[in-house]
Amino acid sequence: MSATLKLEPLLKMLDSGRDSPLLRMSIALALQQQGDLNLARQHLQAALDADPQYAAAWRLLGLLAMEQQDHPAAEQAFSTGLEAAAQRGDKQLEKELTVRLKRVRKAIADATTPS
């Protein structure tokens, strides 16, 4: 079971000017735990604006998009994250994102195939 992140201290850090991709990722995780997926995605986008090669943020962005049934956005996030993971040499995340990308592409295909 994952620990619950406290949002308020994280937001105070952000307000004090201590912005960073890791802080934004932490805020996004706390917001996800609270069920505010839209705001979580906004914070992840801010993290990725600061560091487009932050593969773990791309992964979480894809997972949040999947939770919201936004399969095209999930596909884009997982695909970009896979490229970032490969560039950084993160083999474990590469494997995970390859699997997630296959799953989201199957979900997209299933949704567009007439019954």
Domain count, the chain: 1
83 lies in some domain: yes
Is residue 44 within 8 Å of residue 60, measured between CB atoms?
yes
Q: Which residue has the tokens 């997972």?
A: 63
**CATH number where 70 lies:** 1.25.40.10
| 113 pLDDT more than 90 | no
DSSP label at residue 101? H
pLDDT at 4: 79
Structure tokens at 63: 């997972």
For residue 35, the enclosing domain spans 8-112
Task: Please give the mean pLDDT across all residues of the chain.
Answer: 94
Check whether 59 has a pLDDT greater than 60. yes
Predicted local distance difference test score (pLDDT) of residue 2: 56
Query: Is residue 1, in this structure, part of any structural domain at all?
Result: no
pLDDT for 76 equals 98
Band (pLDDT 50/70/90 cuts) for residue 115 is low
Burial of 47 per CB tally in 10 Å (0-12, 13-18, 19+):
buried
Residues of the chain above pLDDT 90, percent: 91
Residue 99 lies in a domain: yes
| The pLDDT of residue 1 | 43
Q: Is residue 90 part of a domain?
A: yes
Nearest to 60 by CA among 34, 96, 91: 96
Q: Is the pLDDT of residue 29 over 90?
A: yes
